[in-house]
Structure 1
Amino acid sequence: MSANVALSDTFDQWRVKNNELLVMTQTDGSDNFIKLTNTTNSTSNTTGSIISTGGIGISKSMVIGENLNVHGNIHANGAISADGSITLGDAATDNIVLNADINSSIIPNTNGSFDIGNTTMYWSNGFFESIKVTAAAALGMTALEIDANDADQAAFTIDGEQTTVAVMRIDADALTTNSVAVFDDNSASTSARASVQIVQDNAAALAATALKIQSDGGITGMQIDKNYTDDDAATVTGFHVDFDRTVPSSGTATFTD
């Protein structure tokens, strides 16, 4: 059955509407609420119990019982919180831009399962107050690896301001047949260089020892294995000590060579 519905407004002007159940002709609106018993679900922006071809302005809160699908952009003037999981983007071409500061810890969901960057996409710089690396017993890879390919920049630099503790310390309490530290210079360059340097560079530090070796076990305290195989004539030195001492202008000094 189809019929026309006649509605009147406060000015007693009659209107005849076809296929329209509710029409408001005044901009002041109505203080009554609208309730629909239609349960048609919305699967697009043209389906559902309420369909609007224009925008909708809401000055109060809104509660949605199921899902929210937005075809355009979402902007919030206030805070956004979510109780469940959040997935951002569906392809590598999507971006996440953070203009705000991060005000919490970033903790992975599963221990040792996720990476930051990969072998082809690197982060540029990292600024941390402290870095702690823990390698699991079955990790199967190097705990910390630095692959420095910049020829005129140091691989890593430690600027330590420590006074009563060691600037760098390596503890190896399970070592069996290898070494605590290995410095391997395998460059074929014939340029003069010092593969390892220990420099105590302040003449006023009279009580400082540049190199101290302590061996409590084993029969050898220090071993130098010098091999030279070049055919050119040369003066080869296995161990060289250059001891410079300056006699003060007054008083006496005792030196032990």
Structure 2
Amino acid sequence: MALIPIDSNWYDAHATFYGDMHGDETMQGAYSYGDLFQQGYGLETTALSTALFHGGYTCGACFEIKCVNDPQWCKKDVRSITVTTTNFCPPNYSKPDGNWCNPPQKHFDLSMKMFTTIAIYEAGIIPVQYRRVPCVKSGGVRFELRRNLYFLMVLVYNVANAGYVFRVSIKESNTNWAPMTHNWGQFWDIGINLVGEGLSFWVTTSDGKALKFDSIVPFNWQFGQTYEGSINF
């Protein structure tokens, strides 16, 4: 898989927006990332086209974006915005020439708030340049536990620096580390019953850095709960 590195080079793309200025229709990620306000992302978010989304691995990555080469619609007093990837802009193959999220196009579908920070609302779509940048997050990496007695799914989020997770392993109190399966977005799952067990995680981000979160989840955890580590990348 070709991962998008953090670098200083700018690349060409286009951008549109969805939802409204208050975030309606943008707060739930296409892969159920969750309540983006509650998770700390607010409106500083974007959906990515297939060419940039990489099956969801890019979720959590941060991009700096600027409106370019369109003096009629680009705002002159704003240099750029920085957003976190929290959603997927799906292709529409019924409109092969009219959907900006169709492969191989590189496209950002921004919240309206972020789009109108760099461009005039009436533009609708604008040429942009982007680069992947380190994510700045407050607090530690967070783990939200979901699913049922037979299938544990973990959402890993609030990841600093590289921003998105490439590998996750899990360990209960008296076992060895076991790899989790990438499900979608930044959801990772394992098909064994771990209810009643204290849990640890070993997380690797796309730049190869790894951190262990020992005994971060107590034995009496419940589905729907979120646990925050004391460290971050």
TM-score range, shorter chain: under 0.3
- Which protein has the bigger helix share? 2
Larger RCO (CA under 8 A, 6+ residues apart): 2
- Which protein has the bigger strand share? 2
TM-score (norm 2): 0.18
TM-score (norm 1): 0.17
